């Protein structure tokens, strides 16, 4: 069974994404409300996909990408989900190793398709 | 009576009585104060817990409605059932209605597409639009602003007429909310209210309008030159800056008359707009204004920079040349730079002038010709 981690401090959004991904039968969806919790879960588990916001308490989404790529040395697909759609931020995210970038507001249906593609389903 | 007996039994003096009174007063006051804090804490906690419970309940229902409506053909009865159960919860209190409204607004900011349209439908089906409109009639400007924000975020366009009334509100924040709401809600003519707007346009309003217009369909963006003749100076300045930022070349024909405007800020912004739009057709008009603005160094500096960008005849270069002996250093600097960067003829004119004036501009010429500073 696939394991997906959703990191965002917006409870309503996390709840919706979890519901959507569960309905699509993508696997078990875990949540982290801040960067510290996300790091802890990443250190303790192996995920098949990570969806993360950029602006979170304690550690940003970009720090999470760096942690996965440089500390954990994993190539887990990462989708950055952010309200900040500046070209510079998008390029920085991809440069650090993110696989996809979705700007808020986003369509849950579009997110599901992108997740499906990254999970090769 | 008991107190009197107690006092006489212990032989307490009048002074000691005063101290006892003061002590008792502070003790009772402290007790009441602590009790008040504890009760308010308890109430606040209860309220927060109730809010969290309601939010979770609403979120579960919203997830189900939004996701099911967009992914599969769910029977209408199922949708109706969920809406009715939400209505039943919201009937209980206005607090529950407010939690739901907040939830919808928060979700609307993060999701788009068909899911976002469903949120708008839910807002109306739960009759929350009436709840938000009722807030517009409340006395507090905060409530009115909250109502406007909810109606705007959930795209309730029928409220445009009611919201428009607050354009002249005394409260600045309320006016700002109204302004932005109209820009977002009025799909056909988002800035039509500027025709009769007499109030102030704050930097906050300008930034937000620019942000929303830059994100919206270019066909929705109006021709800002239609407000160049507005009697409201703020509207004229805003329209000019928007025409400049959005590079509306259609505004060029209406710019010359603004060069004769009574307000120097309008003249300055007009020159910047001509520069930015590279309106070569207006070079003659700008060159003719050299004598008019000679005494105003800020306008002169802009005029010279403008001519430096759009000049193409000898007369235009001659107009720039007149600024080389301007009393203000900045104006002289921009004039020299304009001539230096225009073409060979202009550069020769600059060198000839400098020689004629015993090298008075040599310092500026050395500076602008320095390759590292180009």
Read off the pLDDT of residues A19-36 as tens digits, 9 standing for 90 and up: 889 888 888 999 999 999
**For residue A10, what are its two tokens?**
């917006």
User: Is the sign of the CA dihedral B188, B189, B191, B197 positive or negative?
Assistant: negative
Q: Is B312 within 8 Å of B283 (Cβ atoms)? A: yes
Closest listed residue to residue B304, CA positions, set B280, B339, B278, B263? B339
Where do the DSSP E strands lie in chain A?
A: 3-7, 28-32, 49-52, 78-82, 100-103
Residues of A in contact with B63 (CB under 8 A): 15-16, 19-20
Res. A82: pLDDT tops 80 = yes
CB contact under 8 A, B59 and A20: no
Q: Between B55, B59, B112, which is nearest A106 by CB?
A: B112
Residues of B in contact with A23 (CB under 8 A): 67-68, 71
Task: Return residues 78-117 of A near B (CB < 8 Å).
Answer: 83, 104-110
Res. B365: pLDDT tops 90 = no
Res. B102: pLDDT tops 80 = yes
The nearest alpha carbon in chain B to A8 belongs to B110
Task: Give tens-digit pLDDT for B318-337.
Answer: 889 888 888 899 999 999 99
Res. B3: pLDDT tops 70 = no
Kindly indicate the confidence band of residue B6, based on its pLDDT and cuts at 50, 70 and 90.
low
CB contact under 8 A, A23 and B115: no
Give the other-Cβ count within 10 Å of B2's Cβ: 6
Q: Is A34 within 8 Å of A1 (Cβ atoms)? A: no
Task: Specify the residue for token string 């992914």.
Answer: B71
Q: Is B339 within 8 Å of B318 (Cβ atoms)? A: no
Cα of B114 to nearest chain A Cα, Å: 7
Give the other-Cβ count within 10 Å of B290's Cβ: 19
Helix (H, G, I), strand (E, B) or coil at A5: strand
Residues of A in contact with B60 (CB under 8 A): 15
Domains of chain A: 3-118 (3.40.50.2300)
Kindly indicate the confidence band of residue B72, based on its pLDDT and cuts at 50, 70 and 90.
low
Closest listed residue to residue B144, CA positions, set B184, B176, B174, B102? B174
Q: What is the 3-state secondary structure (H, E, C) of B15-35?
A: HHHHHHHHHHHHHHHHHHHHH
* DSSP 8-state code for residue A76: -
User: What does residue B264 show for φ and ψ, rounded to 5 degrees?
Assistant: -65, -30
Give the other-Cβ count within 10 Å of A93's Cβ: 23
The ranges assigned to domains in chain B are 1-67+75-126, 283-374
- Chain mean pLDDT for chain B: 88
**For residue A40, what are its two tokens?**
């802890």
Residues of B in contact with A107 (CB under 8 A): 111-116
Taking the C-alpha atoms of residue A101 and residue B142, their distance in angstroms, rounded to an integer, is: 36
pLDDT of residue B84: 87
User: What does residue B139 show for φ and ψ, rounded to 5 degrees?
Assistant: -75, -35
Q: Between B59, B113, B114, which is nearest A15 by CB?
A: B59
pLDDT of residue A79: 95
> Which residues of B touch chain A, with CB atoms under 8 Å apart?
55, 59-60, 62-64, 66-68, 70-71, 103, 106-116
pLDDT of residue B11: 75
Q: What angle separates helix B14-71 from helix A108-118, to the nearest 10 degrees?
A: 70
H-type alpha helices, B72-112: 76-91, 94-110
What average pLDDT score do residues A48-66 get?
A: 93
Kindly indicate the confidence band of residue B371, based on its pLDDT and cuts at 50, 70 and 90.
confident
Taking the C-alpha atoms of residue B93 and residue B91, their distance in angstroms, rounded to an integer, is: 6
Give the other-Cβ count within 10 Å of B211's Cβ: 12
Task: Give tens-digit pLDDT for B258-314.
Answer: 998 989 999 999 999 999 999 998 988 888 888 888 888 899 999 999 999 898 888
* DSSP 8-state code for residue B162: H
DSSP string, B312-363: -SHHHHHHHHGGGG-SSHHHHHHHHHHHHHH-HHHHHHHHHHHHHTTTTTHH
pLDDT of residue B74: 62
Closest listed residue to residue B323, CA positions, set B352, B353, B348, B347? B353
Res. A53: pLDDT tops 90 = yes
Q: Is A52 within 8 Å of A25 (Cβ atoms)? A: no
Cα–Cα distances in Å, from A120 out to A17, A26, A96, A116? 19, 11, 22, 6
CB contact under 8 A, A106 and B62: no
Q: What angle separates helix B94-110 from helix A11-23, to the nearest 10 degrees?
A: 70
- Per the rule left: phi > 0, alpha: psi between -120 and 50, beta: everything else, B112 is beta
Percent of chain B with pLDDT over 90: 39
pLDDT of residue B240: 93
What average pLDDT score do residues B175-199 get?
A: 85
Taking the C-alpha atoms of residue B99 and residue B96, their distance in angstroms, rounded to an integer, is: 5
Which residues are within 8 A (CB) of B68 and not within 5 positions of it... i.e. 6 or more apart?
A23, B74, B78, B79
Taking the C-alpha atoms of residue B138 and residue B15, their distance in angstroms, rounded to an integer, is: 55
Taking the C-alpha atoms of residue B56 and residue B124, their distance in angstroms, rounded to an integer, is: 21
Residues of A in contact with B111 (CB under 8 A): 13, 16, 105-108
Closest listed residue to residue B235, CA positions, set B263, B271, B211? B263
What average pLDDT score do residues B47-59 get?
A: 90
pLDDT of residue B70: 62
Residue A55 contacts B where some CB pair is shorter than 8 Å: no
Res. B215: pLDDT tops 80 = no
Which residues are within 8 A (CB) of B262 and not within 5 positions of it... i.e. 6 or more apart?
none
Res. B41: pLDDT tops 70 = yes
Res. A121: pLDDT tops 80 = no
Helix (H, G, I), strand (E, B) or coil at B140: coil
Kindly indicate the confidence band of residue A87, based on its pLDDT and cuts at 50, 70 and 90.
confident
Taking the C-alpha atoms of residue B286 and residue B303, their distance in angstroms, rounded to an integer, is: 7
pLDDT of residue B114: 86
pLDDT of residue B7: 66
Taking the C-alpha atoms of residue B119 and residue B155, their distance in angstroms, rounded to an integer, is: 10
């Amino acid at each position: 069974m696939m394991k997906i981690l959703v990191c965002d401090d917006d409870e309503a959004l996390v709840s919706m994404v979890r519901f959507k991904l569960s309905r699509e039968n993508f696997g078990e969806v875990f949540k982290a409300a801040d960067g510290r919790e996300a790091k802890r879960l990443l250190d303790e588990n192996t995920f098949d996909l990570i969806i993360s916001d950029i602006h979170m308490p304690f550690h940003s989404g970009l720090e999470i990408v760096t942690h996965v790529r440089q500390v954990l040395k994993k190539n887990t697909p990462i989708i950055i989900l952010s309200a900040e759609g500046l070209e510079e931020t998008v390029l920085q995210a991809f440069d650090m190793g993110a696989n996809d970038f979705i700007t808020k507001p986003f369509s849950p249906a579009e997110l599901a398709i992108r997740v499906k593609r990254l999970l090769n389903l | 009576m008991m107190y009197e007996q107690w006092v006489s039994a212990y032989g307490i003096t009048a002074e000691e009585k005063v101290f006892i009174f003061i002590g008792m007063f502070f003790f009772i006051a402290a007790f009441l104060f602590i009790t008040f804090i504890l009760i308010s804490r308890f109430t606040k906690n209860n309220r927060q817990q109730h809010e969290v419970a309601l939010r979770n309940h609403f979120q579960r229902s919203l997830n189900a409605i939004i996701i099911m409506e967009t992914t599969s053909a769910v029977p209408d009865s199922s949708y109706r059932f969920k809406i009715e159960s939400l209505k039943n919860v919201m009937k209980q209190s206005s607090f529950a209605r407010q939690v739901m409204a907040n939830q919808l607004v928060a979700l609307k900011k993060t999701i788009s597409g068909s899911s976002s349209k469903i949120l708008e439908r839910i807002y109306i089906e739960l009759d929350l639009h009436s709840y938000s409109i009722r807030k517009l009639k409340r006395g507090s400007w905060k409530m009115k602003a909250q109502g406007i924000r909810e109606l705007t975020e959930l795209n309730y366009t029928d409220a445009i007429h009611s919201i428009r009334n607050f354009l002249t509100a005394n409260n600045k924040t309320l006016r700002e909310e109204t302004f932005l709401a109209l820009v977002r809600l009025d799909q056909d003519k988002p800035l039509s209210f500027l025709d009769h707007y007499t109030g102030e346009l704050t930097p906050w309003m300008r930034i937000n309008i620019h942000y929303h217009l830059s994100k919206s369909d270019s066909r929705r963006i109006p021709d800002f030159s239609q407000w160049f003749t507005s009697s409201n100076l703020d509207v004229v300045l805003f329209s000019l800056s928007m025409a400049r930022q959005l590079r509306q070349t259609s505004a060029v024909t209406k710019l010359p008359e603004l060069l004769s405007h009574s307000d120097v800020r309008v003249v300055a912004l007009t020159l910047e707009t001509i520069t930015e739009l590279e309106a070569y057709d207006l070079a003659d008009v700008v060159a003719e204004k050299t004598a008019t603005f000679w005494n105003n160094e800020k306008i002169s500096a802009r005029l010279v920079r403008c001519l430096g960008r759009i000049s193409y005849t000898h007369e235009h270069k001659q107009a720039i040349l007149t600024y080389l002996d301007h009393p203000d250093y900045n104006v002289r600097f921009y004039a020299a730079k304009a001539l230096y960067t225009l073409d060979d003829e202009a550069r020769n004119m600059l060198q000839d002038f400098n020689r004629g004036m015993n090298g008075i501009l040599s310092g500026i010429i050395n500076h602008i010709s320095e390759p590292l500073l180009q």
